[in-house]
Amino acid sequence: MYTAWTLKHKPRTLKDVIGNKQAIQTLIEWVKAWNKAAPKKKAAFLYGPPGIGKTVTVEALAHDLDMELVEKNASDYRTEDAVKRFAGIASQYATLFGKKRLILFDELDGITGTQDRGGVKALTEIIKTTRCPIVLIANNAYDPRFTNLRRYCMLIQFKKPPVSEVVKLLKKICLREGIAAEEAALRFIAQRSGGDVRSAINDLQALAQGKTRLTYDDVSWLAYRDRQENIFTVLKMIFYARSCTSAKQAVDMAEVDPDMLFEWIYENAPQHLTHPQDLARAMDALSIADVYRGRIRKTGNWKFMRYFLDFMTAGVAMARQKSRPSGWTPFRFPKRIQELSRTKGKRRLELAIGTKIKRRFHMSAYRASKEVLPYIKIIFENNVEMAAGIARWLDLDKEMIEYIVSDEKAKAILEHMETL
């Protein structure tokens, strides 16, 4: 079964978190201070590059101090209204069961665009009045959007842990997974990840899972195939996940955006869900995912994003009921995308012709290029006189005419246009 090692080997307690000792100590003291009275700064703002353990620290802290952690991602609080919904939670110091609360707003960078400015503002309001500690996490705390918000926060910087610490961690994971790994191999992975621990662990999993030994040679070629290796791991996770959760985790691991990930899944599903009934279920899931994507587009409401992700990952994973694992099947780059970039010039020209047609035809340029252009093509191939008349009437230029018909015909049409 495919579980991300980043989750399987996630530190449960603070003493297992690597690096940032000073920052973590500051955070602990600040949270503990709440036991006496609310401190002046009611939010802690952790910032630093991705994958170095900011979220993990907060989770481990809640565990160690036996607090209830309320965790929110950017997708939960993009808009003002969405943020306001959490105001109630923040107004109570403890839960019904006497556990103290810790509220975490993760991925603050994910709030984008003008529409969401209200979200940052509403968040600031909640911080002003909160009765329990709030932690904010972002890559860049000095983003202008957070200028006002920062005044109410204690800023805590998280830095990349030293390579030696990352190597130590990778060693520990290998030990637990029963893999004998060369130090040089682990050092290579750690160095290459540039301090991003999460990506180092993902790399290790991609390279070492299922093996008993890991040598330097096994990893050195990796530098060239970075991104692809990542997407392959992610796709495997999705196509062979046994639980919805593990399939959904793949999205976080992927280095491509969800739309591109969707294309990869859509392209490769038939090779991995080989049983017709499984494939029908998988394609149905992708079709539903696409409907949610349509809803995001039409309503402008990003809350539908989570359903889009559900269906393209868990939906596809759960489609597998009868297919056998297809052994080693290479993953293919999404052909649809390849084609689209290949035909870009063609589409540009078609749209330009469509725009010419539109001026005469009272319809959109896009529809004109789809619905009228095919007939114009036939006329141009068969009837020079009529073609010349139409070309003049639509005001088509040489490039357009040459696009519509073969060079020889185009020449005849252009010549005839001169005589008109």
Strand order in the sheet with 100-105: 67-72, 100-105, 134-138, 43-47, 153-157
Interface residue with other proteins, options 385, 397, 399, 415 (CB under 8 A):
385
Instruction: Compute the distance between CA of residue 63 and CA of residue 72 in angstroms, rounded to an integer.
Output: 17
Chain-centroid distance, C-alpha 27: 29
Backbone angles phi, psi at 156, to 5 degrees: -125, 115
Residue 237 DSSP SS3: helix
Interface residue with other proteins, options 15, 40, 324, 362 (CB under 8 A):
362
**Segment interacting with other proteins (CB under 8 A) among 106-114, 172-180, 296-304, 395-403:** 296-304
Interface residue with other proteins, options 157, 321, 343, 406 (CB under 8 A):
343
Q: Does 345 bind other proteins (CB under 8 A)?
A: no
Nearer to other proteins, 256 or 363 (CB): 363
Q: Does 321 bind other proteins (CB under 8 A)?
A: no
Q: Does 366 bind other proteins (CB under 8 A)?
A: yes
Instruction: Compute the distance between CA of residue 108 and CA of residue 73 in angstroms, rounded to an integer.
Output: 8
- The minimum distance between CB 389 and other proteins, in angstroms, equals 2
With beta carbons less than 8 A apart as the criterion, state whether 25 and 36 touch: no
Q: Does 92 bind other proteins (CB under 8 A)?
A: no
Nearest to 52 by CA among 187, 153, 194: 194
What is 282-343 written as a DSSP string? HHHHHHHHHHHHHHHHHH--GGGHHHHHHIIIIIHHTT-SSPPP-SS------HHHHHHHHT
Q: Does 138 bind other proteins (CB under 8 A)?
A: no
Nearer to other proteins, 175 or 340 (CB): 340
Q: Does 284 bind other proteins (CB under 8 A)?
A: yes
Interface residue with other proteins, options 17, 282, 314, 401 (CB under 8 A):
282
Q: Does 113 bind other proteins (CB under 8 A)?
A: no
Nearer to other proteins, 198 or 320 (CB): 320
- The minimum distance between CB 313 and other proteins, in angstroms, equals 15
Cα angle, residue 54 at apex, residues 15 and 196 outer, rounded to 5°: 95
Q: Does 388 bind other proteins (CB under 8 A)?
A: yes
Structural tokens at position 239: 């196509």
Q: Does 266 bind other proteins (CB under 8 A)?
A: yes
- The minimum distance between CB 105 and other proteins, in angstroms, equals 26
Q: Does 105 bind other proteins (CB under 8 A)?
A: no
Interface residue with other proteins, options 89, 184, 379, 412 (CB under 8 A):
379
Interface residue with other proteins, options 2, 55, 358, 396 (CB under 8 A):
358
Cα angle, residue 15 at apex, residues 13 and 18 outer, rounded to 5°: 105
Q: What is the CA radius of gyration of the chain?
A: 28
Structural tokens at position 245: 């959760």
Q: Does 383 bind other proteins (CB under 8 A)?
A: yes
Which residues of this chain interact with other proteins, rule CB under 8 A?
266, 270, 276-277, 279-280, 282-284, 286-288, 290-291, 293-295, 297-300, 335-336, 339-340, 343, 350, 358, 360-367, 369-379, 382-383, 385-390, 392-394
